[in-house]
Structure 1
Amino acid sequence: MQTVRWSDVVRRDLFGPAPDRRDRPYRLVIRVFLVVLKAFGFRFDVRGSEHLPRHGGAVVASNHVSYFDFTYLELGAVPQHRLVRFMAKASVFDHRLAGPVMRAMQHIPVDRTAGLAAFDEAVRALQDGQLVGVFPEATISSSFTVQELKAGAARMAVLAGVPIVPAAVWGGHRVATKNRRVTLRRGVPVTVLFGEPVVPEPGEKTQSVLRRTRAAMAELLDQAQRDYPDAPAGDDDRWWLPAHLGGTAPTPERARDIDRADVQGTAVTPQRTLGQKVRHLLGRR
């Protein structure tokens, strides 16, 4: 496990010898995030970055357990001097603060009622040599295991003629995940693993590529969970472990119902003002 160093924040060559001027906002956001990670003493175990291509397009397909998974994955891509354009739900781009930042970073908005435009934009980005990040479970997994995947990631890779780089993130959900208050704790370990690319074979069907991708993601997540250096502090702290590892997270079967409601937009959530939302996340009444 390594921690962020102040020298990492200010390194002139952090993004390579000649980074694209158009990506200045993205690079600034990463440096700001590094400051936050340094201030809270996050510890990182990043492995497999070499599987991300130095040049050319690829789909980065990861599990999803935390609100900040995209930032951890991007930090894992920095050693290759690559930036990842993530596909995210359109409502994030409508936010008056987050929206301009997401657009400046050239992420891709996804309208779940009309996803074809986002799919086409992602394919164009892949054909232009970009890395496109996808959470193919379509929502944060309540079970903290790899649930069924949407076929879009595999379809994109097949259509654009690029590989899929499977990935797994683990640990960040202890700070911020759905249905839990944000817990700003110091020294949290976060694991980011990238696996060997899944290359669609000539004539291979989308579902076959999808099955291979899911198997690779599940294997990486299992490795990340079993190698994780922290253990629950007690019975009340077992919520962040999946059921098969002795945790109290919902089983995959129960999580399917919970997560399906999130994906379909039918989950019932209380209406709160912005101030109430902030106090709820911080655990204040």
Structure 2
Amino acid sequence: MSERVYPPVIKTALGVFKALNIKFRLEGTEHIPAEGGAVLVSNHVSYLDFIFAGLAAHPAGRLVRFMAKKEIFDNRVGGPLMRGMKHIPVDREAGASSYAAALKALRGGEIVGVFAEATISRSFTVKDIKSGAVRMAVASKTPLIPVALWGPQRLWTKGRKRRLLQRNVPVTILVGEPLYPKRGDDYDQVTEDLRARMSELLEKAQREYPDVPKAGEKWWQPAYLGGSAPTPEEAEKLDFQEAEARRASRLEREERAQGEGGAS
């Protein structure tokens, strides 16, 4: 498979990280298979996570095809890059086609990356995850590989200004032991086991992180470690309010469009 876009993007990203003196801690990469399909499931703390989660497979010489919301592919800058890297668009109105595309990639020996929490976790803990990743692994007979990221939230996360040029930020990428779900398993239980492994990895990354927040910077630290990030319960309320606001805005646009159509 021709790769004209992905390798240069990785090389550019690594060059930028070096210039910014981003300090990586990368562990567990031996769990990434040298060949064959796999479902890589990462937590989600920033808008840059697909870059850092993808680096988990870099030592094995593998590229990760991430499932990402369709809106990114519609962007005039990001879209061509995403398509060039052969990532998989997710249209929530047509989920079956996204699932089919992911299965095709997995059966073709690709690693498919999934952010099973669906949205960035405001609490910086692992939210409830859906069973889609487990079902894909079972259908394609591929392993599930849990990954935990910590540090990217300091560069760009939900509700905070971008700080992409911030220097000397440590970034932790931990890869856990694979799970091998199979037909007949309780998919909900396997999903909970996956979430537990991701949470364990993330807590390890957080507790062993080399930096502590300075005055006024406690927003990037989870509440359970004394930070001012929302608790999981507070974050859930904020997510609900955001979803309701989006829904109301969408309905308003649809009603306006119908009104304009009727007036013509």
TM-score by length of 2: 0.90
Q: What is the alpha-carbon distance in structure 1 between the residues aligned to residue 248 and residue 162 of structure 2?
A: 20
**Are 2:204 and 1:204 equivalent residues in the alignment?**
no
Give the structure 2 partner of residue 193 of structure 1: 174
* Counterpart contact for 2:66–2:88, Cα < 8 Å: yes
Give the structure 2 partner of residue 80 of structure 1: 60
Q: What is the alpha-carbon distance in structure 2 between the residues aligned to residue 265 and residue 156 of structure 1?
A: 32
TM-score by length of 1: 0.84
> Post-superposition shift, 1:188?
0.4
- Evaluate the alpha carbon distance shift between residue 268 and residue 27 of structure 1 in structure 2; reply closer, same or farther with a 3 A threshold: farther
Query: Among residues 122, 140, 154, which one is paired with 1:174 in the alignment?
Result: 154
> Post-superposition shift, 1:264?
7.4
**Are 2:129 and 1:149 equivalent residues in the alignment?**
yes
- Evaluate the alpha carbon distance shift between residue 267 and residue 244 of structure 1 in structure 2; reply closer, same or farther with a 3 A threshold: farther
- Deviation track 1:57-90 (CA, whole Å, cap 9, x = no partner) reads 1100010001111111112211000000000000
Gaps of 5+ in 1: 1-19, 270-285
Query: Among residues 219, 229, 239, which one is paired with 2:200 in the alignment?
Result: 219
Give the structure 1 partner of residue 100 of structure 2: 120
Give the structure 1 partner of residue 115 of structure 2: 135
Q: What is the alpha-carbon distance in structure 2 between the residues aligned to residue 265 and residue 43 of structure 1?
A: 38
Describe the SS at the equivalent of 2:17.
helix
Describe the SS at the equivalent of 1:225.
helix
* Counterpart contact for 2:117–2:129, Cα < 8 Å: yes
Q: What is the alpha-carbon distance in structure 2 between the residues aligned to residue 264 and residue 197 of structure 1?
A: 36
**Letter of the 1:68 counterpart:** L
Give the structure 2 partner of residue 237 of structure 1: 217
**Are 2:87 and 1:107 equivalent residues in the alignment?**
yes
**Letter of the 2:219 counterpart:** W
**Letter of the 1:225 counterpart:** Q
Give the structure 2 partner of residue 67 of structure 1: 47
Q: What is the alpha-carbon distance in structure 1 between the residues aligned to residue 225 and residue 243 of structure 2?
A: 26
Describe the SS at the equivalent of 2:237.
helix
Q: What is the alpha-carbon distance in structure 2 between the residues aligned to residue 172 and residue 61 of structure 1?
A: 16
Describe the SS at the equivalent of 1:177.
coil
Question: How many residues align structurally?
Answer: 248
Describe the SS at the equivalent of 2:239.
helix
Describe the SS at the equivalent of 1:23.
coil
Gaps of 5+ in 2: 250-264
Name the % identity.
50
- Evaluate the alpha carbon distance shift between residue 82 and residue 191 of structure 1 in structure 2; reply closer, same or farther with a 3 A threshold: same
Q: What is the alpha-carbon distance in structure 2 between the residues aligned to residue 120 and residue 264 of structure 1?
A: 29
* Counterpart contact for 1:141–1:259, Cα < 8 Å: no
Give the structure 1 partner of residue 232 of structure 2: 252
